[in-house]
Amino acid sequence: MSDRVLVVNCGSSSLKYRLVDVAAGEALAWGLAERVGQPSGRLTHHRPGEPPDVVERALPDHGVALGAALEALDRSGPRLADAGLVAVAHRVVHGGDRFSAPVRIDDEVLGAIRELAALAPLHNPVNAVGIDVARRAFPGLPHVAVFDTAFHATLPPAAHTYAVPPQWARDHGVRRYGFHGTSHAFVSRAAAELLGRPLEEVNSVVLHLGNGASATAVAGGRSVDTSMGLTPLEGLVMGTRSGDVDPAVVAHLHRVAGLGPEEVDRALNSSSGMLALAGTNDLREVHRRIDDGDQAAALALDVFCHRVRKYVGAYLAVLGRTDAVVFTGGIGENDPVVRARSLGGLEALGIRLDAERNAARSPGARRVSADDSPVAVLVVPTDEELEMARQTVDLLAR
């Protein structure tokens, strides 16, 4: 039986899991526990080709949520006891300066993940809770932490240094880290495979456009610049996050509106982005509203695509020579309008989309540029869980 890894991703009120067969590159089962910590919760468990197993019940904490997931696996299969499980992989958002690769978790590593909560207060503590409950559920298995920041450990100083007082960097870790690294790693490798060229020779601009969104310049498989910074707030316009704003906004709103820094931070993270401009963070709904003549939704889409275009231009310059622009994430994979609006009119920069290929709906990795486009434009569905499982098996084989 080949290596199978249980991938766990804990959010503040959710727990996602996926049982991955690494050699086959496929999921044997996956599920989502929602509204963890709230009075009424739900667990939805899936197996390929079967109706979902849905349980509505309170999930007061992540330990109970994981227990409910294990019960669903026992009930609907595959039973983990017979599944050939070799490890549990945990998504951890922030690895700070400390973690530049996946790491086997012991008490010391778990302590370090908790200490990094200063940099990721919304994510690392809950990631640590997930690790804690899973280690108790599977005490005999290796547990591995895979960090969202790790792929960007290769950023050169020119790209990761903010021009701020150096003691902020030294004493408080104020620098750019970058996120979505697991996705950018998976997608840049898959893009090289699609082009039929060795990863080391391929330069790409990867656009992960989902509810969170980020752009990365990848040179020969190494991240050399990325749009997210100290936190996942910087860069592109996202579902509920502003992306780039003048940092003076914080002091300005304090002076003119009496808003505190925490309040502004919350608003920039949770009630900005497409939600603020269009009234919804679902791009499908944005398109519906535009079709109904909604001017605010039209402006929101303009702002979103303009920001993507700006980062593409910047990263073409950072890379010098670019082989591919690669779209991924819920929007990148499914929204031909965003792709066309972001890259239209860039023929002089070597980017020529093929309108028909771009408009065609297809689930797989594919080329959407014209055959004579010097820069290939690709759509590559991301698979962060498979990437995490692969990295985990690689680590354990070392």
- Please give the positions annotated as active site: 148
63, 210, 232, 243: residue in contact with ligand ADP (rule CB under 6 A):
210
| Closer CB to ligand ADP, 270 or 334, in the complex | 334
Applying CB under 6 A, the span of 60-68, 73-81, 209-217, 386-394 interacting with ligand ADP comes to: 209-217
Distance CA 93, CA 281 (A): 22
Three-state DSSP state, 111: helix
Window 231-260: residues binding ligand ADP (CB under 6 A): 239
| Closer CB to ligand ADP, 323 or 335, in the complex | 335
User: Which residues share a beta bridge with 56?
Assistant: 42
Token pair, residue 93, equals 């958002």
**In this structure, what are the phi and psi dihedrals at residue 285, rounded to the nearest 5 degrees?**
-70, -35
Closest distance of CB 211 from ligand ADP, Å: 3
Following DSSP, what letter does each residue of 163-226 receive, concatenated? SS-HHHHHHH--S---S-HHHHHHHHHHHHHHHTS-GGG-EEEEEEESSSEEEEEEETTEEEEE
**CB within 8 Å of 178: residues ≥ 6 apart:** 149, 151, 152, 155, 160, 214, 216, 223, 226, 227, 228, 229
Closest distance of CB 331 from ligand ADP, Å: 5
Q: How many residues bind ligand ADP (CB under 6 A)?
A: 13
- Using CB under 6 A as the binding rule, whether residue 280 contacts ligand ADP is answered as no
Three-state DSSP state, 133: helix
Applying CB under 6 A, the span of 9-17, 246-254, 278-286, 363-371 interacting with ligand ADP comes to: 278-286
- Using CB under 6 A as the binding rule, whether residue 212 contacts ligand ADP is answered as yes
In this structure, the strands spanning 376-379 and 324-328 are parallel
237 Cα distance to chain centroid: 14
Applying CB under 6 A, the span of 23-31, 41-49, 93-101, 210-218 interacting with ligand ADP comes to: 210-218
- Using CB under 6 A as the binding rule, whether residue 290 contacts ligand ADP is answered as no
Closest distance of CB 209 from ligand ADP, Å: 8
Applying CB under 6 A, the span of 32-40, 102-110, 149-157, 205-213 interacting with ligand ADP comes to: 205-213
284, 288, 306, 321: residue in contact with ligand ADP (rule CB under 6 A):
284
**Which residue, among 233, 334, 328, has the nearest Cα to 282 in the 3D structure?**
334
Closest distance of CB 173 from ligand ADP, Å: 25
Closest distance of CB 187 from ligand ADP, Å: 12
Closest distance of CB 329 from ligand ADP, Å: 4
| Closer CB to ligand ADP, 335 or 385, in the complex | 335
132, 263, 282, 354: residue in contact with ligand ADP (rule CB under 6 A):
282
| Closer CB to ligand ADP, 229 or 232, in the complex | 232
Distance CA 95, CA 91 (A): 10
| Closer CB to ligand ADP, 226 or 281, in the complex | 281
| Closer CB to ligand ADP, 339 or 367, in the complex | 339
Angle, helices 107-115 vs 124-137, to 10°: value is 160
Applying CB under 6 A, the span of 92-100, 140-148, 208-216, 308-316 interacting with ligand ADP comes to: 208-216
If DSSP states are collapsed to H, E and C, what string results for 294-355? Answer: CHHHHHHHHHHHHHHHHHHHHHHHHHCCCCEEEEEHHHHHHCHHHHHHHHCCCHHHCECECH
| Closer CB to ligand ADP, 182 or 203, in the complex | 182
| Residue with the CB atom nearest ligand ADP in the bound state | 330
Which helix (H) or strand (E) segment is 276 a member of?
A: helix 273-278
Window 321-380: residues binding ligand ADP (CB under 6 A): 329-331, 334-335
| Closer CB to ligand ADP, 20 or 105, in the complex | 20
**CB within 8 Å of 134: residues ≥ 6 apart:** 6, 8, 66, 88, 90, 143
Which helix (H) or strand (E) segment is 62 a member of?
A: helix 62-76
Interacting residue ranges for ligand ADP, rule: CB under 6 A: 210-212, 239, 281-284, 329-331, 334-335
